[in-house]
């Protein structure tokens, strides 16, 4: 029997974390809280960087972009999941599934690219500090962001086009919280050999190349730090990169660790755990890692809220004088 053509598929079922009705309210409140914390935390970083001229540097420019990407990445998955819980429906339209997959892969790829760019920025700041302002000029920073966008767009477009050539039969249940490329391959009833080869080749080529860039940047950075004569200089140099290194470690450890266990056990639970970790947990923790460890961010936020309170007092005073 020939598999049903892909164009006839109208919808999929996202099974999510749990099918138990009694757990849905708890899961809804938990993920709504995590989503709001993620959006609020990353927005505060964007506000702090954009409102304080002291933070208009390449490092904070890249951090601001990373926060924006984290908001967008979480927004591609969590709102749909929350809506399905509220409406007690697990349905997602085929076009909606493809769109969600495209943007999820795009923002995940952009996340990795930005982490690599930030590692390079840290390497230049420590190992070539005297030439930092000459190397990391605004044009170069903008070019690095542009290249990151182009790579992410092409990577996501490749996976999306490969997904659209898949055919499906009766099993349209995606055992995850989002439409993911490898989950769609698992439920496809057409030949997926080409899809698997393209996915592995693109992931190793792009993902492996970016990860190698991060490893190289930090190996050179650590060598430069160890070569410093003053202990105070070593501490300051290490502290300037520890936040970014924490984010990189969190992102890659959750992604690689959970997915390797998923591949070993072939467990749908492991796959869902992986999705939750790097789509919800990691973007939520990033603002805490940067703000709690970064004195400049905390000082900028204090100045921002102080300025807002002063403006609010002035506006309130004007309104009272007009009423009088």
Distances from the Cα of 244 to the Cα of 14, 25, 56, 114, angstroms: 34, 35, 17, 11
Within a domain: residue 185? Answer: yes
Distances from the Cα of 158 to the Cα of 121, 152, 195, 198, 257, angstroms: 29, 10, 10, 8, 25
Distances from the Cα of 305 to the Cα of 48, 111, 268, 315, angstroms: 9, 29, 45, 15
Within a domain: residue 131? Answer: yes
Q: Apex CA 105: angle with CA 118 and CA 274, to 5°?
A: 90
The answer for 266, left when phi > 0, alpha when psi is -120 to 50, beta otherwise, is left
Rounded Cα–Cα distance for residues 104 and 261 (Å): 22
What is the domain-level CATH number for residue 148? Answer: 1.20.1070.10
What is residue 232's predicted lDDT score, i.e. its pLDDT? 63
CA-derived radius of gyration, the chain? 23
Q: Indicate the angle between helix axes 231-265 and 268-276, nearest 10 degrees.
A: 150
Q: Could you give the dihedral angle defined by the CA atoms of residues 42, 102, 190 and 13, in that order, rounded to the nearest 10 degrees?
A: 60
What is residue 300's predicted lDDT score, i.e. its pLDDT? 77
pLDDT digits (tens, 9 = 90+) for 67-108: 999 999 999 989 988 888 888 888 888 888 889 999 988 998
Residue by residue, DSSP assigns 181-208 as HHHHHHHB-S--HHHHHHHHHHIIIIIH
- Determine contact, residues 66/118, Cβ cutoff 8 Å: yes
Q: Apex CA 59: angle with CA 101 and CA 77, to 5°?
A: 20
**Number of folded domains that form the chain:** 1
Within a domain: residue 1? Answer: no
Within a domain: residue 46? Answer: yes
What is residue 312's predicted lDDT score, i.e. its pLDDT? 67
Give helix then strand counts, H and E, for the chain.
Answer: 13, 3
Within a domain: residue 305? Answer: yes
- Determine contact, residues 42/69, Cβ cutoff 8 Å: no
Q: Apex CA 25: angle with CA 24 and CA 27, to 5°?
A: 65
| Domain interval for residue 214 | 6-323
Q: Which residues pair with 91 in a beta bridge?
A: 13
Instruction: Extract the residue ranges of the chain whose pLDDT is less than 50.
Output: 1-7, 262
What is residue 90's predicted lDDT score, i.e. its pLDDT? 82
Name the residue among 120, 280, 106, 122 with its Cα closest to residue 206.
106
- Scanning the structure block, which residue is given the tokens 């989002």? 178
Rounded Cα–Cα distance for residues 13 and 176 (Å): 9
């Amino acid at each position: 029997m020939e598999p049903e053509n892909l164009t006839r598929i109208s919808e999929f079922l996202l099974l999510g974390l749990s099918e138990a009705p009694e757990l849905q309210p708890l899961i809804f409140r938990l993920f709504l809280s995590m989503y709001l914390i993620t959006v609020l935390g990353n927005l505060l970083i964007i506000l702090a960087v954009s409102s304080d001229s002291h933070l208009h540097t390449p490092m904070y420019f890249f951090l601001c972009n990373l926060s924006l990407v984290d908001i967008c990445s979480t927004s591609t998955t969590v709102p749909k999941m929350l809506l399905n819980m509220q409406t007690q429906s697990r349905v997602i339209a085929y076009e909606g599934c493809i769109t969600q997959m495209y943007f999820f892969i795009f923002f995940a790829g952009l996340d990795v690219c930005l982490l690599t760019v930030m590692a390079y920025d840290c390497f230049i700041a420590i190992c070539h500090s005297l030439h930092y302002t000459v190397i990391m000029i605004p044009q170069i920073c903008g070019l690095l962001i542009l290249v990151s966008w182009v790579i992410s767009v092409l990577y996501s477009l490749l996976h999306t086009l490969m997904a659209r050539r898949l055919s499906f039969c009766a099993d349209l249940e995606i055992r995850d919280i989002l439409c993911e490329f490898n989950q769609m391959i698992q439920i496809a009833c057409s030949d997926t050999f080409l899809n698997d080869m393209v996915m592995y080749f693109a992931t190793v080529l792009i993902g492996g190349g970016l990860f190698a860039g991060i490893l190289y940047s930090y190996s050179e950075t650590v060598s430069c730090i160890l070569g410093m004569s003053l202990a105070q200089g070593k501490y300051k140099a290490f502290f300037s990169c520890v936040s970014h290194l924490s984010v990189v470690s969190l992102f890659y450890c959750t992604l690689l660790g959970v997915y390797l266990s998923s591949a070993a056990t072939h467990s749908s639970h492991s796959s869902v755990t992986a999705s939750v970790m790097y789509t919800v947990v990691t973007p939520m923790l990033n603002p805490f890692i940067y703000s709690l460890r970064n004195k400049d961010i905390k000082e900028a936020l204090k100045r921002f809220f102080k300025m807002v309170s002063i403006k609010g007092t002035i506006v309130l005073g004007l309104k009272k004088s007009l009423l009088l």
